[in-house]
A = this chain, B = another copy of it.
Amino acid sequence: MLPGVGVFGTGSTARVLVPLLKAEGFEVHALWGRSEDEACCLAKELDIPFHTSRSDDVLLHQDVDLVCIYIPPSMTRQIAVKALGIGKNVVCEKAATAVDSFKMVTAARYYPQLLSIMGNTLRFLPAFVAMRQLLVEGYVGEMQVCDVRVYGPSLLDQSYGWTCEELMGGGGLHTVGSTIIDLLSYLTGARAYRVHGLLRTFVQQNGLIRGIRRVTSDDFCFFQMLMGGASSTSTAVCCTVTLNFNMPGSFVHEVMVVGSTGRLVARGTELYGQRNGSTSEELLLGDAGWVGPEVKEMPLPHLRGLSSMVKALRQSFQAHEERRSWAPGPVAIAPTFEEGLYVQTVVEAVKRSSCSGEWECVEIMSQEPDPNHNLCEALQRNKN
């Protein structure tokens, strides 16, 4: 039996998610927005019976068994941890910091019977599921290089907000780069142990963000990751990622894996491959055409990935009679909160590298840092 759903967020993802949930048979009982107005407006538009700007009203709602959290990163940890504490299943977007991610991991470990997955994922996209399968089967031989590029228009919101602020979790690296970092660890089956990167904010002001306000989040980022066993660097997979969001009117989403005997490349939602002996590329998985909602702000790979994730959620829950019970099988490929922490750690290492100019090690937090130490760091940061 499918659980009742409560949705946090009124942004573009929430707006897409609700119809997708309904299409799979989920009932969306409650919507939370930062302001009463926003919540009311979207609830009316999407035909959701209850709306509020108080988070507890959704978390404690008796018909809500599954909470989907698609809100600004800085608010995610608080809602996600509380939802688990109340005994609700959680699908949520990335948090703003590794410390927040660590707190979410702690909560998820404490309630292993509850579903807790990162919901901003490309892993469910059929092209990447097929790519992973072919990589495991040895289509490319030994993996050598992953080369990813994402080009598109600005990620900034119309008005000044968290998307403009690096410290609030805005920017190409945090928003899009994190989905690529997660995807590459899924595809390669390995983790980054050293990273190097460079971030830039080419557009610091525009027609809407001006005066004393200034964008601090990156609109251009490239980073490299060495993935695999840190001990034997010879077998490391070299990953290069280029993100450029100063390209209005275009959308490029290309993920290539090159190995010793061939290569695979996903362009948008389609998968192509070429073995070394062959003279041309073959189409391995086409795109039958998207029949769901079209969203200007959300690129097709993310939209289809979200749609496939919702389908997997349906399969996971419908296997059980009890509304809050779920089968792990269908959502096994979803990133856990632990993987969310890994991604956040890589993001922060890339940012560190951009400041230091050096390769930075990826070291996953194993205990919560002393809050006073954090305070000192924050103060120091403000000084610069």
Binding site for B on A (CB under 8 A): 144-145, 147, 149, 196, 198, 200, 202-203, 220, 222, 224, 238, 240, 242, 244, 246-250, 258, 260, 263, 274, 276-281, 357-359
Contact = CB atoms under 8 A, between A and B. Distances in A.
A238 B203 CA distance: 14
A280 B358 contact: no
A277 to B, nearest CB: 8
B274 A147 contact: no
A224 to B, nearest CB: 6
Contacts of A238: 198, 200, 220, 222
A379 to B, nearest CB: 25
Contact of A249 (B144, B149, B276): B276
B198 A224 contact: yes
Contacts of A203: 260
30 contacts: A144-B220, A144-B246, A145-B202, A145-B220, A145-B244, A147-B149, A147-B242, A196-B196, A196-B357, A198-B224, A202-B260, A203-B260, A222-B224, A222-B238, A222-B240, A240-B240, A246-B258, A246-B260, A247-B258, A247-B263, A248-B276, A248-B277, A249-B274, A249-B276, A249-B277, A249-B278, A249-B280, A357-B358, A357-B359, A358-B358
B145 A279 contact: no
A281 B250 CA distance: 9
A281 B196 CA distance: 32
A278 B248 CA distance: 8
A228 B71 CA distance: 40
Contacts of A249: 274, 276-280
Contacts of A263: 247
Contacts of A196: 196, 198, 357
A245 to B, nearest CB: 10
A248 B141 CA distance: 14
A358 B359 CA distance: 7
A244 B274 CA distance: 15
A203 B258 CA distance: 13
Contacts of A250: 274, 281
A287 to B, nearest CB: 19
A119 B195 CA distance: 37
Contacts of A281: 250
Nearest to A142: B202
A220 B249 CA distance: 32
